[in-house]
Amino acid sequence: MTDASLLSTPLTDLHRELGARLVPFAGYEMPVQYPQGIIAEHSHTREKAGLFDVSHMGQAWLVGPDFETTAAALERITPSAIAALKPGRQRYTVLLNETGGIVDDLMVSRPDGAENDGRLFLVVNASRKAVDYEMIAKSLPENVKLEPVEDRALIALQGPMAADVLKAHAPDAADMAFMAARSMEFDGIAVHVSRSGYTGEDGYELSVPAGAAEAIARALLADERVAPIGLGARDSLRLEAGLCLYGHDIDETTSPVEGAITFVLQKRRKEAGDFPGAERILKELEDGPSRVRVGFTLEGRAPAREGAEIRNSEGRTVGVVTSGGFAPTLGAPIAMGYVETSCADVGTRLTLVVRGRELPATVAEMPFVPQRYYRKPSA
């Protein structure tokens, strides 16, 4: 059944052909799983290579007269050292509101090539496109413009075999470092490639012309090591990797310190305190936040999901679960959520309340499954 109010991506017909179950997600009709099923798709990505359509995400250019001007414009609404980005490098950052809450988390890359001077490429969450674009546009000086990109698809190729698969079509991708971003050709088609992703595995995201997306996806899927992966496994993969899902694990009320993503704050910015909500964020860095995002392993098999209350050993409510489910790689349930800082030490025993029952849980290190990002062999 097709819901006419939902948007499609350049790959929607292909998903249907592959037998996907399509569900509404952030206003798009997206594949939640293929006939293989979520657990098999999850394992396939951890063992081989998975292809994800993430075209619903927002792609946009920030265009100014030169790099310094454009970077300075973006720094007004983020706590990261955007100006320190080197050509061909990408960084994870957040947009902040005036109280230091997270408006969105996003990837920013500085393209290589002299012709791209003054341009930054942004990839934002699908559900936050409208909010982000309005906020960014409002914050910009006269000489920097936001140009949302509507004619490109975004394809992620993730897993330990992703590099070897992509090499056959885009040889330039093979020696990219983690978080590198480069323009190159995929079978002769101009694409932007970044070595990054949302699974904890090595892999890439390819921004490709909408008209070429299906050909590129089919070329990758023709490799027997590649399987199509839906949003269901995308969620279980990112949860195992300890990565935040916007609107669940971080939102406009949570700061980067509470969200345990302080790595978005760089030294120069902390010293200058020149970002929205700096007063709160710097105070939290100094004194510790009142609550913080942590991971949980659970005893037994019952998963605890978003919204489950977290209690301490005295039965007092000390937090709430923001993401939770079954971790296929571990064969056990895991969760993440916010707890009072006094309960946040790894090893702290708490309970997660599911259907009125207290499930024993332990604060655990994240990621739950080791990240396997590509590290360049040293010369």
Partner 1 sequence: MSTRYTEDHEWITVDGDVATVGITNYAQEQLGDVVFVELPEVGRKVSKGDEAAVVESVKAASEVYAPLDGEVVGANDVLADEPGKVNEDPEGAAWFVKIKMSDAGQLDGLMDEAAYKAHLEGL
Written as one letter, the residue type at 48 is: K
Count of chain residues binding partner 1 (CB under 8 A): 18
Neighbours of 78 (CB within 10 A): 25
Nearer to partner 1, 20 or 264 (CB): 20
Residues 119-138 that bind partner 1 (CB under 8 A): none
Q: In sequence order, which residues have a C-beta less than 8 Å from that of residue 126 and are 6 or more positions away?
A: 25, 26, 27, 28, 56, 57, 58
Residues 222-281 that bind partner 1 (CB under 8 A): 232, 235-236
Dist. CA 73–CA 61, nearest whole Å:
13
Contact status: 326 vs partner 1 (CB under 8 A): yes
Report the DSSP beta bridge partners of residue 340: 291
Q: Which segment (150-158, 184-192, 284-292, 320-328) binds partner 1 by CB under 8 A? A: 320-328
Q: How far is the CB of 372 from partner 1 (least distance, A)?
A: 22
Q: Which segment (37-45, 81-89, 93-101, 201-209) binds partner 1 by CB under 8 A? A: 37-45
The residue within the footprint of partner 1, chosen from 13, 17, 19, 37 (CB under 8 A), is 37
Nearer to partner 1, 43 or 312 (CB): 43
Cis preceding-peptide flag for 367 (omega within 30 of 0): yes
User: Can you read off the two tokens belonging to residue 313?
Assistant: 């050993």
Q: How far is the CB of 332 from partner 1 (least distance, A)?
A: 9
Q: How far is the CB of 294 from partner 1 (least distance, A)?
A: 22
Strands 226-228 and 49-53: parallel
Element (H, E) at 363: strand 357-364
Contact status: 305 vs partner 1 (CB under 8 A): yes
Q: How far is the CB of 36 from partner 1 (least distance, A)?
A: 10
The residue within the footprint of partner 1, chosen from 20, 38, 124, 244 (CB under 8 A), is 38
Contact status: 337 vs partner 1 (CB under 8 A): no
Site string for partner 1, 186-225 (x = CB under 8 A): ----------------------------------------
Written as one letter, the residue type at 202 is: D
Dist. CA 358–CA 28, nearest whole Å:
37
Nearest to 104 by CA among 62, 144, 134: 134
Q: How far is the CB of 206 from partner 1 (least distance, A)?
A: 26
Contact status: 328 vs partner 1 (CB under 8 A): yes
Nearest to 346 by CA among 300, 294, 292: 294
The residue within the footprint of partner 1, chosen from 64, 101, 277, 303 (CB under 8 A), is 303
Nearer to partner 1, 40 or 72 (CB): 40
Contact status: 33 vs partner 1 (CB under 8 A): yes
Q: Locate all alpha helices (DSSP H) within 101-252, ordered by sequence.
A: 129-139, 162-167, 210-221, 231-240
Nearer to partner 1, 228 or 328 (CB): 328
Q: How far is the CB of 325 from partner 1 (least distance, A)?
A: 6
- Scored b (16 or more CB within 10 A) or e, 225-256 reads bbbbbbbbbbbbbbbbbbbbbbebbbeeebbb
Contact status: 32 vs partner 1 (CB under 8 A): yes
User: Can you read off the two tokens belonging to residue 61?
Assistant: 């250019």
Torsion angle, alpha carbons of 336, 298, 196, 123, to 10: -30
The residue within the footprint of partner 1, chosen from 333, 335, 350, 351 (CB under 8 A), is 333
Residues forming contacts to partner 1 in the complex (CB under 8 A) are: 32-33, 37-39, 42, 232, 235-236, 301-303, 305, 325-326, 328, 333, 355
